[in-house]
Structures are given as C-alpha cells and as structure tokens.
Amino acid sequence: MLDTVKTLCYLSGVSGCEDEVRDYILERAMPFASEIITDSIENLLVFKKGRVEPGKRLMLCAHMDEVGLIVTGIDDEGYLKFDFIGGIDRRVVIGKRVYVGHDRIPGFIGIKAFHLLDKDEKKTVPKVGDMYIDIGARSKAEAEKQVALGDVVAFDDVIAEFGDGCLKAKALDDRVGCAVMLKLLEEELPCDTWFAFTVQEEVGTRGANVAAYKLRPDLALVLEGTTAADLPGVDEGKQICSLNGGIVIPFMDHGTIYDRGLFKMLARLADDNHIKWQTKGRITGGTDASAIQRSREGVRTGALACAVRNIHSHACIAKIKDFDDMLELARLFLEEVAND
Amino acid sequence: MNLTEMIKALCSLAAPSGFEDQARKLVRELLEPYVDEMREDPMGNLIAVKKCGKPDAKRLMLDAHMDEVGLIVTGIEKGFLRFATLGGIDPRMLPAREVRILTEEPVFGVIDTMPPHALAPEEMDKAIETDNLFIDVGMSQEQAAARIPLGTAAVFAGGCETLGSSMLCGKALDDRACVAIIIKTMENLKDRDLNLDLYCLISTQEEVGTRGAITGTYSIRPDYAIAVDVTHAHTPDAKKEKTLPMGKGAAIGVGPNMNRSVTELLIETAKDKSIPYQVEVLPSSSGTDGWVIQISRSGVPTGLVSLPVKYMHSPVEMMNVDDAEAIVRLLTEFTLRLGEERSYA
C-alpha cells in the first residue's frame, strides 16, 4: 500500500494533464478489470465483477489530478511567468523546486534576496503575476528551446518517511484514494464495483460530473485527502481534523451534505471494527461528491478522507496508517453493500 | 574533483553558523594536499598555510566562510518545534519548507503552513513571521522532547544541483562555493614557487556578524587579504543598480572597505590575463568578512572578490560556474603577481 502511494505521488498529474497517472493506473488495473473505459474527458473507469451483483449500482471514486502551475509567458531574460492550476496558497510556492513540462525541466520559483527588500516588501507576499520560474536559462532563446507556453508545472517530488509513521510527498491529495482503489481492484470483491479514477477535480470536480453521468451509480463512495490544520497557534475550532485522529468520515463540506445513512453506516463500521475515525470539525473544502451526488436523479454519496497537512503544496504530510485504515474501511463498506 | 563537484560536495553538508563541524572536516581533507600546516582556533576557524620558505616573507590571506544560514530550535509545542534563525532568512521562504534537524541522527522536518481557512483574508497577503511558524517532525510532544534538545540547529534540506547549461542551484552556495574556489586556487598553486606565505582562513559565524574572521585574522596577522564571498546577482524583481549580471566573471569590489592598491592590482591582473571581471561599487560595508579583516590589529590592506549569486540565503541560491572558474584564475594569478611585486617591497 505504502509503495503504491509513493509511486503514484511521484507521477505528475496536474489537472488536465493526468496522463502519467492514468497510464500507470491502467497498467496496474488491466489484469484485474472486467471492463475498462476511458471517457471523453479522460477519466479512467474500471469495472470489476464481485461475488454478487448488488441491488444498487456502486461507484468508488478518487481523483488522479493534482494542483500545479502552468506556463503563461517567457520573458526577455528567459524567466517563465506562470499561473496556478487549482487552489494554491501562493505563500507556499516561494523558493520551491518545480518540474516544467513533459521533459521535466527543473526550475525554481525565484524571489529576490532578503537583503534587497524594503520594509513593505518584507511583510507582503508577492502576487502570482510578479513571481517567476528560473530554469537557469541565460536568454529567452535558451528557455524557448526547453519550454513552451501552456506547459504544466509540477511540484518537487521528493518523498520522505519521517517522524512517527508520517509520509511527506506532493499530491497525497488524492493519490491516497487512487492507491486504495488500486489495492481493492487486486482483491476478490464482495460485489460488482465501478472504480472511477477522475480528472480535473482540483479545478471544479469536472471529471466526476462526466463519470457519474456515464456510470449511473445508485451509491457512491469518494476517497479523498482533506485539510488538517492541527498546528500550534490554530484554535481548536479551526483545526478541521488531526493527523492523529484517524480516518476522516465527513458529514458535510462546502460542496456536499453527505448522505446521512452512509455517514452513519461508515461510522458504525469503523466503530465495530476498531478503526480510529474522526469527522471534520469545520466546514471547509469540497470533493468530487458534489458532482456525483447531483448527477442525473441524484446519487447517495459518502466519503472517506485522509487527514493531510499542507495539502495543496509539495509538502503534504499524512499518517501512513491512515492509508491502510482507509483501505480496510472501504473493504468493509463493499462487504456491507454486498450483504444489503 | 572538479570545481562543480567540489561545490556540490561542500553544499550537501549541514553547517550553519556555530555548527560548522561537518564543513570543517571536509575542507580540512580537501586542503590537506596543498598546504604545509593547518590548525583550528577557538572560534572553529580553519587556518591553513602554504609557506614559501623565504625569509621575511609577507603573508597573503584568502578568506571565505564555511557557515551557512540555518535555524535553531527554541521550544517544543505539542510536538512541533519553535525556532529562531541563524543569520538572515526571509520568512517567506519558510512555509512548506523541508529542513534537516541536526541531532546526532538527523531528523527530517517540514515547516507547516496554516491553511487559508484558518486566516483572515487580508492575512493571506502577509508574510508569516518566523515566530508563527513551526517545524513539523511528525512526533508527539514526548517523542520530540526526547529526540530533539533545545538548541539543536537545522538547515534547509537538500544540497546543490546543476541547472541548465552552466548554473548550480541549491543551499549554502553562500559561501561554500567560494570555499571551493579557494581550495581550487591552492590546487593551482601546488607546485608553484611562491614569494609569500599563503594563508587560508576558512571562517565560521560570518552569517551572524563576521565573528570568525575577527579572531582568525588576528591570529594569522596577514599583510594582505582577499575576502571571497557572494554578491547579489540580477533577478527580474530586483533593482538593476543593486545587483550584478551573472556570467560576467569575477566581481571586484571597489570602495572604502577595500584597499585601493590591492583592488587595482586585482583589476590589472584580470586585464593582463584576460580574466572576465566586473567592478562592484560598494559605498560602505561590503557585508563580508572583509569588513572586519580590514581593521584587524593595525589594519590589513584588503581586497574583495565576489561571486554573483541569485536568491541569496535561500535554499535555491543560484550561481554560474563560469564566474567561479574566473575567480579561481584571478586568485591564482593575483597571488603570483603580488608575490613578485610586493613581497620584498
């Protein structure tokens, strides 16, 4: 499980450019799938037969895309101008390593030296329009040989296990969900299941719209990463969830009031099986559930999430144990659906 | 080991101000083949000398500092580490930053960022002060307290890597790139007959106020000195008049911090030997070890040669290797020429 998460996080899949992730998942899923569809928006939809055909059509969902940047210009000196893809806090990109385009040209987001700042500059975070990527090019021509407008830019991919069972990597949101679905695909399943590996969640749950319409599920479970703000200096009421609090079963976020029955069922399954869980202590964020829930005549939708610190940065941090707990709870959920 | 490899090896080490052991150990090994004697003083400076064996020889000192900017742990709260900086670090460089904490068995950490929802909208545009940042080591309070004593130092994770055709990018180029430049200069001069005793001061604690150079220079008692340090290279967001272009060779400092005749000899040498150089005008302190070297004991005629570096004091400092090569040549030729012209003056 951990190896799968790491491998997936290493791959680049900025929204709209998920190819690397999709290719990898396709290869891993192929031997276990009963049917595979790549749809028009390039979601990867994988069906696997289980022991029983449940009365309700079931879809599990995780998104393949990650937040990143896109090159919008190359200036006269060979520096790259950029904008964000997905919701990125611009405070976390300063001085970070990035990889530009398919050839993974390394670069760094520059900012002038501390010594050269005036008083006001020291206190403010530059606007995105004033930031730039330095790829070490000595001229515009040298930069243009390596980079084109529209190239997507992914964050540094160094992965580290540290502390008390923690993992640092980019894109934990939502490669954890992808990894859980890949592991489930390899197992004998209690019931027929569709696995939707979606695109473009980070720019507005766009892939999930298309996937849910296509698959017409009655029931859906979204596997996600969610913001943990359990830091010193953050009021308890604003911490949302904690890295040590177990798997997150949300009842509501900005996009969705999760199906109450599924919320209760997931909580019961966790309790009965001694899986540590928590819910979100603050209404924030959103998931593919918002698109799935309102697809066609409506879909009963629940979610499991992994608590992640620094979520939309290259330095996401999560507890490794949560990956296994999410897998176990998803397994129990399938069993429950099969027996229903 | 070529210059690039040496810079990479030196920058990969963790040696913030006051905690320079790792750097000193490697510099000692690298200098060893080219010098006659080496010693460490109470401030941790490494002092090396190549003697010419001639009576009443003058002393030329080449100086570069081995310390880098870093962090130091000042408290532990709920398992997260509070810290102060060692040297000047832009706090805006710190959110979501990976660090190496220098316990006996180094600990990996990440400086966490409060997510946007926990902040008022206007705070999103404000730099987060160091006091409000914490290093996440993924441990409980008990685990962190047991592993990481207060006063433990930390550095930016990573080292230095090649970027594009001629750039190096990483942490600690300030000033280990120049330490490597001095070592390569000593290598160049290995079999040369000198007319002066050539000292290297590889100093400590420059980043907290050029402290090592104070005692190191006193101890060496040089007749001439060249401080070798980094200076600001041009970036799109910086004023052109406060920065120098990269790729234009050695930057030779001109101003009150630098002795006029030493500076002129540096410039003449560069011209005569066709070594690329540019003049850096410094109206007051150079902000380098040169500032304290100049007034050591009864005064030392001091020159300054600088390597242009972008994003100074960040984990992504950037330099052009061609500039560093030019400085090695300049220091080599300058040493030979100073020996010829001034040694018996």
The answer to whether the Cβ–Cβ distance between B237 and A110 falls below 8 Å is yes
- Residue of B226, B269, B272, B275 lying closest to B248 (CA atoms): B275
Give residue B85's pLDDT band: very low, low, confident or very high (50, 70, 90): very high
Give residue A234's pLDDT band: very low, low, confident or very high (50, 70, 90): confident
- Residue of A110, A75, A115 lying closest to A93 (CA atoms): A110
Query: CA-nearest residue of chain A to B142?
Result: A164
The answer to whether the Cβ–Cβ distance between A116 and B239 falls below 8 Å is yes
Distance CA A250, CA B232 (A): 50
The answer to whether the Cβ–Cβ distance between B114 and A92 falls below 8 Å is no
Instruction: Confirm or reject contact between A135 and chain B (CB < 8 A).
Output: yes
- Residue of B262, B335, B334, B264 lying closest to B49 (CA atoms): B335
List of chain A residues whose C-beta atoms are within 8 Å of the C-beta of residue B311: 95, 108, 110-113
List of chain A residues whose C-beta atoms are within 8 Å of the C-beta of residue B312: 113-115
Dihedral angle computed from the Cα positions of residues B73, B77, B80 and B84, in that order, rounded to the nearest 10 degrees:
-30
Mean pLDDT of A245-264: 96
How many Cβ contacts (< 8 angstroms) between chains A and B?
A: 196
How many C-beta neighbours within 10 Å does residue B236 have? 15
Mean pLDDT of B135-144: 97
| Candidates B127, B243, B314; nearest CB to A125 | B127
Mutate to test the interface with B, among A108, A121, A123 (most CBs of B within 10 A): A108
Mean pLDDT of B53-76: 96
pLDDT above 70 as % of chain B: 99
Residues in Cβ contact with A130 at an 8 Å cutoff, skipping those fewer than 6 apart: B237
| Cβ burial, residue B103 (10 Å; 0-12/13-18/19+) | middle
Instruction: Confirm or reject contact between A204 and chain B (CB < 8 A).
Output: no
pLDDT above 70 as % of chain A: 100
Look at residue A123 and tell me whether its pLDDT is greater than 80: yes
> If contacts are CB pairs under 8 Å, which of residues 283-302 in chain A contact chain B?
284
Q: Residues A195, A178: contact at Cβ < 8 Å?
A: no
Residues in Cβ contact with B96 at an 8 Å cutoff, skipping those fewer than 6 apart: A92, A96, A310, A313, A314, A315, B110, B111, B112, B113
Mutate to test the interface with B, among A90, A105, A114 (most CBs of B within 10 A): A114
Domain boundaries, chain B: 3-68+171-337, 70-156
- The distance of B266 to chain A (nearest Cα, Å) reads 27
Domains and CATH numbers, chain A: 2-66+170-339 (3.40.630.10), 68-155 (2.40.30.40)
Query: How confident is the prediction for chain B on average, in pLDDT?
Result: 95
The answer to whether the Cβ–Cβ distance between A233 and B132 falls below 8 Å is yes
Look at residue A47 and tell me whether its pLDDT is greater than 80: yes
Distance CA B233, CA B251 (A): 10
Mean pLDDT of B39-61: 96
Look at residue B269 and tell me whether its pLDDT is greater than 90: yes
Q: Which CATH architecture has domain B70-156?
A: Beta Barrel (2.40)
Query: CA-nearest residue of chain A to B148?
Result: A163
pLDDT at residue B345, as a whole number: 42
List of chain A residues whose C-beta atoms are within 8 Å of the C-beta of residue B78: 232
Q: Which residues of A are catalytic?
A: 201
Distance CA A298, CA A294 (A): 5
List of chain A residues whose C-beta atoms are within 8 Å of the C-beta of residue B114: 229, 231, 233-234
pLDDT at residue A54, as a whole number: 87
How many C-beta neighbours within 10 Å does residue B17 have? 25
pLDDT at residue B342, as a whole number: 75
Instruction: Confirm or reject contact between A119 and chain B (CB < 8 A).
Output: no
Give residue B343's pLDDT band: very low, low, confident or very high (50, 70, 90): low
Look at residue B203 and tell me whether its pLDDT is greater than 60: yes
List of chain B residues whose C-beta atoms are within 8 Å of the C-beta of residue A313: 95-96, 113
The answer to whether the Cβ–Cβ distance between A96 and B164 falls below 8 Å is no
Look at residue B304 and tell me whether its pLDDT is greater than 70: yes
pLDDT digit string, tens, across residues A279-313:
999 888 899 999 999 999 999 999 999 999 999 89
Distance CA B69, CA A240 (A): 35
Give the total residue count for chain B: 345
List of chain B residues whose C-beta atoms are within 8 Å of the C-beta of residue A115: 88, 232, 287, 312-313
Buried/exposed A54-92: b ≥16 CB within 10 Å, e otherwise? beebbbbbbbbbbbbbbbeebeebbbbbbebbbebbbbb
The complex scores an ipTM of 0.90
pTM of the predicted model, to two decimals? Answer: 0.92
CATH 3.40.50.2300 fits B3-68+171-337, yes or no: no
